[in-house]
Structure 1
């Protein structure tokens, strides 16, 4: 079972380096005319904005200095945490999902709409890991490039439930763990709690399919426990949908594979070679079971030196790799 994760803080320099790599890999961003005086480059997505602009036209990042609410230090736009007291900068991009698009029980979902007032072309429902909430990914840079091309992102929060393997401790979780093998092998889980998540995700996917006008434009994915839960819902969904992306996770042993309608749909798993929480000696065979069950479009990538915590920059690269393939075939 995965331990309670720490929230990562991506550095501004790391984001700039990652964005440069992503652009060199062929991912483009809309740009205004360059070379004229009075432009400011966004520290997040590198779009050149006219100097009167207060926010980036592509990703919504602030282009102005900001004042720390705790110590009142004035910080530069590229800084995400106060240089004096490390207080994180307040985010402004997360929005509650409108009630007409999701059932009432999912009013706490977060939606990241496409940038530049674009109409949504593809919807990605992405699940956070164990002990987290939608806030974990509500300001993630992993989605920025493709939100500028029409990507809509739905971030549900897992319900609070008692974890049997933790003595009944209450955590945000997509399902209950019955055992804790400390990463050495797959844990046993409570099927009823998993079924509740599967039913919830089916309703979300169906609502997004209605919005998109095509279930083939709806994607499912997640990280860690969220990867496992999302793949279970993906494999069980009664309609063929657009694809799956998973970080540091695996198909659950209880997930039906042979009868799934998704066996010819693109599935990408990204794992970490030094993962102690979901160790590759059993995780990779679990993923390879898909090939034996007739799944024809499964991709597996393992990052050398990375552990279960990964990094913002690595998850950016993983998400770009998956979404580039999806958008290429729209």
Structure 2
């Protein structure tokens, strides 16, 4: 099937212009600052890539059956079917700027949080674009999988049968499988193999996008929110070529992610945003992970602030403000 046509979305962005002028009079010279609120119209092409309509984003295969249940599958009395499928990472949202041929080109690969899907960003292009750079944004969807720490969560599937439906283990859109659920008190144990599968998938996407940019991997920026931040950071720090930057929201560095001395990303700007009332990625242990990067002399910029809407870990509109701020800083520093 052909790709779904992109829809051009336009909106107004508000910005403030300040002008400084010197006013001379008989008694004294005065510095006058004029402030003017202006608007500019921005546009981007938003394409929704659904299953069956677009090429797959990844060729990697992975298990959707929870690690805890795969361990039990050898006991035939359990009758657990171990399912392996391709990580197509669809549906996905792709945003391309419109009418900006003179601006430097970049690609941002952004990963949503656990339990979310890419389509939640389809009507939020303003989270990523402010007109300062021509940024292509790729937002894939995490695989729908069983999660080990929730392997007792069952729900009944509706059926027309008078006897009722069957029971099914709950599944989650999750970039990797969690072995533990420690309620935010400390880092959870994870299934390393499932993380490595996503790492391979993201490396494929990075390489393909770098090829479109003439081999310039330093024009690729990775980012993500919550579990998406964790996964994107792991992919960035394990990628063999220099990247343009990283933007992580309410996430952390995994203890299993390697931090190489003088690795390819040693000078890559790594931006982190933490919510002060976050009770899921709690600062007392997240900060230790961040210090691991600093102690190895990585280029870390970290900010802690409150979500004005009071959402804590599940940040609202401030998510877009944080992303745009970092994109301006990263793209300005790499212009040319």
Partner of 1:115: 98
Q: Per-residue CA shift, 1:181-208, capped at 9, x if unaligned?
A: 1111110000011001000000000011
Structure 1, gaps ≥5 residues long: 1-14, 27-44, 49-57, 61-91
Partner of 2:301: 299
Partner of 1:53: none
TM-score norm. by structure 2 comes to 0.69
Q: 1:25 to 1:195 in 2, by over 3 A?
A: farther
State how far apart, in whole Å, the 2-side matches of 1:46 and 1:128 are: 29
Q: Per-residue CA shift, 1:279-326, capped at 9, x if unaligned?
A: 11111221121011221x1000001365101111x1122112211112
State how far apart, in whole Å, the 2-side matches of 1:132 and 1:103 are: 19
Q: Which has the higher strand share?
A: 2
* Larger of the two Rg values belongs to structure: 2
What is the SS of the residue equivalent to 2:91?
coil
Spell out the pairing of 1:164-175 with structure 2 (5 A cutoff): 164-167=148-151, 169-175=170-176
State how far apart, in whole Å, the 2-side matches of 1:231 and 1:191 are: 15
Partner of 1:127: 111
- Is 2:47 the counterpart of 1:94? yes
Does structure 1 retain, via aligned residues, the 8 Å contact 2:127–2:323?
yes
1:150 to 121, 130, 134: 134
1:169 to partner: Cα distance: 2.8
Does structure 2 retain, via aligned residues, the 8 Å contact 1:258–1:294?
no
Partner of 1:282: 285
RMSD: 2.6
Partner of 2:80: none
1:256 to 252, 255, 258: 258
TM-score norm. by structure 1 comes to 0.70
State how far apart, in whole Å, the 2-side matches of 1:110 and 1:253 are: 30
State how far apart, in whole Å, the 2-side matches of 1:109 and 1:184 are: 32
Q: Which has the higher helix share?
A: 1
Spell out the pairing of 1:62-211 with structure 2 (5 A cutoff): 93-96=46-49, 102-103=57-58, 105-106=88-89, 108-116=91-99, 118=101, 121-140=105-124, 141-146=126-131, 149-167=133-151, 169-211=170-212
Alignment length, in residue pairs? 251
